[in-house]
Amino acid sequence: MLIQNDSLLDNDFQLANKQRMELSSNNKHIPYIKRVWSGFISNKWAVASFVVILLIVLFALFAPIFSPYSSTGVRPDETNLSPRIPLLEKIGIFNGYSDAVSTRYHYFGTDNLGRDIWVRCATGTRLSLYIACLAMLIDLLIGVIYGMISGYYGGRVDLAMQRITEVLSIVPTIIVVTLLLVVLKPGLSSIIVAMILTGWINMSRIIRAQVLKIKEQEFVMAAYTIGESTVTIILKEILPNLIGPIITTFMFSIPSAIFLEAFLAFIGLGVPEPYASLGSMINDGFSSAMSYPFMIFFPIILLVLLMLSFNLFADGLRDAIDPEINEK
């Protein structure tokens, strides 16, 4: 029979031995993304933490929009109000018991300047996440470039670059960050700069170790043999294989960046006043923690939830991306 056109249908062919085919379907190739996805889905803690992160992000984005209050709106007549939530107040909790001079609903209460804590929590979370994500993204960029160059070229370049990071990594992070902030004065950009300065070393180390492993493999050798340029090899052969470690490192660095920001705010080097971050809110509420616990309770819960779920999420993601580590 002549083939009339190039398109062949599935039923043009018949299996010579159907049984053998069924046996081999056990070893069917599963695409990378699908494998990672199914590994991730099966980890209920990771999925739950992902949902929590999503909820917190939604809260941070939309709570201020649907609230009549603003994060910076000072109201001297509504200071230190306890939390009051409609419906819940009827069963005796969150009823604004302390000094209910106001008939308005502040879900998380108000702080010592009469600012609504619900809205401030949302904008604070936003700022904390923004600082952490931006700083870590830039860190990632620097770390990946540095690590790839160091790992790929090897030899003297690697030696020199590794000596630099070795020396820099002995300089304690908190010292660099505090000194920088003392000189630059705390502000959004100076905090981000301080985080970038200290965070990229770890990234570059992980990336370098991965590149060293990958570049020995056959497909890189093959690309080299057929005359691909260095740039093509790095971008097309090595970089795609780094996606897994890059994502997990990024995810693990987010909670530590959130923590660093909170830490800086707690020692008085946080974002300056009209801004609110989770750390600066905790710092503000700390002195009155025993008399107005609600002021510090909600930012703390948000901070801990964020860090916990990012850690669990990163854990799950790493196990899904690199199942070998799980065996450890």
Q: Is 289 in the site for other proteins (CB under 8 A)?
A: yes
Q: Pick one of 296, 317, 320, 321: the residue that binds other proteins (CB under 8 A).
A: 296
Q: Pick one of 18, 20, 156, 328: the residue that binds other proteins (CB under 8 A).
A: 328
CA distance 45 to 312: 7
Q: Is 216 in the site for other proteins (CB under 8 A)?
A: no
Q: Is 267 in the site for other proteins (CB under 8 A)?
A: yes
Q: Which of residues 59-118 bind other proteins (CB under 8 A)?
A: none
Q: Is 304 in the site for other proteins (CB under 8 A)?
A: yes
Q: Is 132 in the site for other proteins (CB under 8 A)?
A: no
Q: What share of the chain is helix, strand, coil (3-state, %, to 5)?
A: 70, 0, 30
CA distance 179 to 159: 29
Q: Is 311 in the site for other proteins (CB under 8 A)?
A: yes
CA distance 246 to 67: 38
Cβ atoms of 282 and 301 closer than 8 Å: no
Q: Pick one of 60, 119, 262, 317: the residue that binds other proteins (CB under 8 A).
A: 262
Q: Pick one of 22, 137, 286, 323: the residue that binds other proteins (CB under 8 A).
A: 286
Site string for other proteins, 142-181 (x = CB under 8 A): ------------------------xxx-xxxxxxx-xx--
- Let me know the angle formed at the C-alpha of 208 by 169 and 137, rounded to the nearest 5 degrees: 75
Tell me the one-letter amino acid at 85.
I
CA distance 215 to 281: 47
Q: Is 40 in the site for other proteins (CB under 8 A)?
A: no
Using the 8-state DSSP alphabet, how is residue 13 labeled?
S
CA distance 121 to 300: 10
Instruction: Kindly list the residues in this chain that would bind other proteins in the complex (CB under 8 A).
Output: 166-168, 170-176, 178-179, 182-183, 255, 259, 262-263, 266-269, 282, 286, 289-290, 293, 296, 300, 303-304, 307-308, 311-312, 315, 328
